[in-house]
A and B are shown apart, each in its own frame.
Chain A
Amino acid sequence: MKTLFKITVLMLITSFQVYAQTETETETEILYSKSYETNQSTTALLEFRGSSVEIYKSPDDKFHIEYIIEFINYPNRKKKEARERVNIESDLVNNQITLVDKSKFSMYRFYQSETITGTLDLRNESEIKSYLYKSEKQVVNEINKAKKPVSLYAKYIQSANRYSESEKKEMIEKSNNRKRKKYVKRFTIKVPSHLDLTINSKASTIRIQEKIENQITLRADGGTVYLNEINNIRNIIKIKDATLIVNSINGGEVILDNSKRTIIGELKNVKLNSEFSQLEIGLINKNVEITDFTSKYLIHNFSKDFEALDMNTEYSEVNLFLPRNGGYELTTFGNYTKHFVENKLVEVSAEKTNGNTKMLDLNSKENDGKLSAIKVNTANGIIRISKDVINFGE
């Protein structure tokens, strides 16, 4: 009888724990909500630090701010503390809306040793052996996939090379089934189409979910920026130590400093200035100019009438797949640059320093009379050109 009782108590305790692990309780609260009337000359200055921000078109002429907190399996006794860490200020002065997130930098607690180890293990990145050509559609699919939220744990496990693929899958599934206590905070901002927007963010995730025409001045220091289609000739996008994932940029200037991952679906009418970055571009459209120092470029496609691509590079690695639509002429000028065409070294006569000689000239065979020009000014560079596959055999 005594033994039976003990077993029953143990079963009861165990079943409570199992039940607690499988049930997810989510509770959403709006912590801040404000709307401002705007006119044609209203501007907005938004400052974020460690924030998660989603920006949409406003359904009316008002500027809407909403800040929510989502508690997931979070203990009631700790919710108050989480709420108290939120500190948001906004105002409308001299026709400028300001919004500042002064909340304490308080992402949910994080003490999974494997995730920490994953973070510390990131340097074991596998070396890429080749690049395969991707159609514009394939690049867009990758962008859309990259935009889907992934847990930090999954991100680090995926990037840790000490696990096999099956081990990674198993660990992530196990983690997904585990009950977590956390809270997620998020801004939802709705912007009228006439409003000029300035965003300064640090270690934040900024998502502009829709195609927008607003003038945007964005400075992202760390974190990740996800954009859909941004169209404005006065746009300025500055990315430092951050990731940029964007479907299309039409107009303006993009400045990248140490962006380890930038994927751009399409570039049109853009001046791109980069250093110490890695970029993958799905499509080069009209009027694109690139200036770079020590970055790695991978360019997949050119639009039929892109007319001209100008690149000025120093110590850069330019990998490009030849245009598939329309005639082209590809010319490289400069000095001391190594060229690989269809994965074979092409010897070009070039001075070691200070020269600006013409080094390589490639023309499309299908010449319909109108050629688009790819002009690469390069010093101490590596240029790889291919139709389908770029191998790094050197």
Chain B
Amino acid sequence: MGITVLLSVASCNDILDVDLPSNVIPREDVFSNQEAIEAAIDGLYAENLFNLGIYEYVIPMYLSPASDESYHNLPTTYNFEEFRKNAYSASNSYIALLWSYPYESALLSNDVIEQLSKTTVISEEEKQHYIGEAKYFRAYDYFVLTNLFGDVPWVKSSNIRETGLLPRESKEKIITDPEGIIDDLEYAKTSLTNSDNDNTRVTRSAASALLARVLLYHEDWAKAEAEATEVIENSEYELETDLDKVFLRPSKETIFRASSAAAMPSYVGRTYFAVIELNASYLRLTDDLVNSFEENDLRKEKWLKNETAGYVHAYKYKRNTATAAGDAEDLVLLRLAEQYLIRAEARAQQGNLSGAIADLDTIRNRAGLSDLSDTLSKEDVLLAVENERRHELFVEEAHRLWDLVRTGRAAAILGNKTNFPDKQWEPYKALLPIPEKELTLNSSLTQNPGYAEIK
């Protein structure tokens, strides 16, 4: 019959080709156009800093109560309580998010890195600049993942149909191997210029600052000191003398901040620490932290707020909506004070106690506190570092929890049943359990020790 002829006519593809939906842009089109490439880099910022929670509220919100500094005031139906009690279970949905957000972020970076390395429409210099920004975000993703889970699958490709079965890679390799955290940050450092923006983009200093933190955690004291020094000696940054101005937009102390000029969402994250009625109840500070401030510590006066209802919450950020420029606040991702504290610790570890004390005093003086005695032992200095980090960096990221874990002090503090009768701290709690769903979907994954294996 003639039908055969007609059927084959209909096989001519052209009659069915259509314009793509206007909101779908093929990847190859993006990476063959200069403006689109810039937009893809903006996309990394928007997605990382606003939409995925890891830079915003997720990390402090979930992990701060796992330390000794805060607790949630939420109905028990939310399984946040597992964090406060260090009673982590592999089925906890928030632990699943702590796993998935960094990987979602890494996928975006991986694709941009892969595609940029092939593109020819921009100069080599621009290419390296953009790749540097993408690598910064990827390094942060793995910094979070390795801190939380130890060895994790190391995914460096956007080929989602193949990367789903990768096994865990050693944390050490992820930190030190090529394309690992340190390598990515060093790449970012060399490919990025120093601040040519308003600290709303990753700069050479931002890469240095994060690298200093990574090296500190990795106990590479000399290099950590060097990176911190590079940032501290950069004249663009200086400590704000007025504690009320530290988190304001023009703060000179800010190394990297989320630009919330037009977008509301970066305020959302902040509201967990801010004053508004609705959210102030989310994260409340423990008496343990509140009572540990020295008598005349200005941070206690400026950065804490007592509510009449009888609880205290952090008051570093004070606004909940976008406001006029002078008062505007942005979510601060990296600030100079931390670099002083990194260097103090690195110096102390290398035996340079006076250098360490000098750095600590810089932070203490700003808070209205007197100099430390210069006769402290190394142990005392390290304790002073711990103490200063606690009072300077509370409910920022997961500083307190990670400090206690990496310095081996968690058992003494979180395991103290008198102070925290509810906590079930054990050494293996230094790592979270791998979410159980991941174990089921990727049979090559193994559970962290101490957590019951899934049948």
Decide whether A and B are members of one complex. Answer: no
Chain A interfacial positions (CB closer than 8 Å to B): none
